[in-house]
Amino acid sequence: MSTRPDAMSPELADLVARTRAFVREVVIPAEPRPGETLELDARRELSERAKEAGVFAPVSSAAYGGLGLPLRDWSPVLQEAGYSPIGPAVLNCMAPDEGNMHMLSLIATEEQKETFLAPLVRGQERSSFAMTEPHPGAGSDPSALTTVARREGDEWVIEGRKRFISGANEAGIAIVMARTEETVDADGQTRPAGATMFLTRTDVPGWRVGAQIHTSEQVISGGHPYVHLEGLRVPGSAVLGQVGEGFRYAQVRLGPARLTHCMRWLGLARRALDTALDRVERRELFGSPMSQLGLAQGLVADSVIDIETSDAIIARTAALLESDERAGQAMSSVAKVHCAEAIYRVVDRSMQLCGGDGMSEELPLAQFLMEVRPFRVYDGSSETHRWAISRRASRARRREIEAGASPLDRVAPEEHDG
């Protein structure tokens, strides 16, 4: 199965086809064995081939060497990239770099773009987004942020501890979220206390990578370690956006970033189902091909349903993010929960259809499951998003009632009778 070119422009359809061919012909043969990692040097070699093929950095700024696709066109390309677990990294559309590049393109000053965005788009640097902290700091609740930044003359001094900082082992650039007190700008404007984002190099005093956190997904190098901010000094020009507005800017990053995770992992779910479909066509049980057995057909059908509904909700969310950012941010929570769990189910069913080989290193499915499982936690756990989704639904219904809608529980039971 594959993404379809319905209503694509000729240019987009061509890019999708070229991405599909590159991933299948170049990337998949270079995949590391289960339990192994694509190391940085091998990734860079493959990325150079992606540049030659014209499929590198598809969603990043064209001004700095990317292809500059609009958000509505991201999904079919990222699904094709995600058909291999290393595809997005090779094509430079993998988290956290992809989300960081998107945010920088929208918020950074021209000087910041030249210094930090340009090398990321060109694949010369990797980056990390340092927000998550050890308990009781920021995690599912970003407002619990404990890292602090204090103003000293023309500099900021940052102190704190971060954890699960993806890519930090190889990152040369980082965006750090820290709590700041109320400040007054040079022009006399007061900035409220809150969270502020700072840009920094990582090869400077005060940034220290700490203990490694070994997680289930291993195919991409970079890790998710602790990071210690020990008197990290950055200039005033390192503030990303405005002081005190960090949480608002984080939503600019997190909404599309959640959605691109859905796109990439949906590509891998398609690969998992293709693997299972090939197996059920070749294998016979009880005198019949597995593809003709009802129980196997049920597993296949449920996976097709999960893939198609995920594809549809991704498209709807992308359209909303372009037309109504507030509604798009809310819908990105719905998309994230649905896709994270649907994709996991597809991979799990594919393993089941492939029997013993599905559990082994004879097929890559077990590795795929280990790669996609954390998505139900990363970028907000399913439970956290369900909490937010429910609250938004309740608020919306209260507003409808205040505007004159009749609460259904006030309608007499006989009025519901046919």
How far is C-alpha 353 from the chain's CA centre?
28
The pLDDT of residue 137 = 85
For domain 10-121, is the CATH number 1.10.540.10? yes
Q: What is the pLDDT of residue 413?
A: 54
With a cut of 70, list the residues of the chain below it in pLDDT. 1-6, 185-188, 410-418
Identify the pLDDT of residue 1.
43
Residue 117, both tokens: 């965005």
Type of residue found at 344? Y
Please check whether residue 191 is in contact with residue 147, taking contact to mean a CB–CB distance below 8 angstroms. Answer: no
Residue 411's pLDDT is 54
> From CA 158, how far away is CA 234, in angstroms rounded?
8
Q: Global pTM?
A: 0.91
Looking at domain 127-242, which CATH architecture does it have? Beta Barrel (2.40)
- Rounded-to-integer distance, Cα 57 and Cα 85, Å: 16
The CATH 1.20.140.10 portion of the chain extends over 248-402
Residue limits of CATH 2.40.110.10 in the chain: 127-242
Residue 303, pLDDT score: 98
Task: Please tell me the distance from the alpha carbon of residue 60 to that of residue 117, in angstroms, as a whole number.
Answer: 9
What is the fold of 248-402? Butyryl-CoA Dehydrogenase, subunit A; domain 3 (1.20.140)
The DSSP output letter for 215 is -
Tokens of 349: 């069913």
Q: What is the pLDDT of residue 190?
A: 73
- Give residue 418's pLDDT: 46
